[in-house]
Amino acid sequence: MKIYITRHGTTEWNISRRLQGWKDSNLTKEGIKNAISLGKRLASIDFDVIYSSPQNRAVETAKLIRAKRDIPIVNHKALREMRYGIWEGMTLDDIDKNYPEEFHNYVNNPDAYIPVDGETYNDLFKRVDDFLEEIIEKDDRNILVVTHGIPIKAIIAKIKGLSIEEFAKIPIYTGTSLHIFEVKDGRIHIVVEDDISHLESI
């Protein structure tokens, strides 16, 4: 089994540096172009299914990657972005100004992060782990997963066996960057990490 994972395309709130969480904003023209470009890159892969976060920016990205192919898109709640509660819709600068300690821990010290009406990192890690276990048990050959920045960091950390401190140092990957994993004997191995070569042709 191979698992192809990507982040949704760039959104309007990404550009304005607003935290989205479970809220949504539209894909930008660049985000749409990049998703189409990744779709062309993956056009020769015979996907059994596409799993997407149910949030609109991920679903739209999944549809653009799928293009006209007959591949089912399954919305999976475990793939949602981290929930940030009252921070959602605020700019990063305003969050840093109004919640300096909480924001510092969110970025640099996740083990000490206490959300303001949001989701803990442990909540996120649990649902990501459950999702990986679920899809590994299936008899699919090729799976595409469209999700968000923090869940992808959690997936990478899980596969590499990183500590929560090391997890904090993983970057937020570019929109539509591609990661490819191979499952053998119930274990996940990284084949490709953070590939953006499809963006160079735009």
Angle at 187 between CA 53 and CA 136, to 5 degrees: 40
**Of the residues 8, 76, 148, 179, which is catalytic?**
8
**Of the residues 81, 88, 102, 119, which is catalytic?**
81
- Give alpha helix (H) positions in the chain: 12-15, 29-41, 56-66, 92-98, 100-108, 121-136, 149-160, 164-168
- CB distance 186 to 46 below 8 Å: no
Is residue 76 flagged as an active site residue?
A: no
Quote the CA–CA distance of 171 and 156 in Å, as a whole number: 11
SS3 8: coil
What is the residue whose two structure tokens read 């981290």? 82
Is residue 8 flagged as an active site residue?
A: yes
The residues carrying an active-site annotation are 8, 81
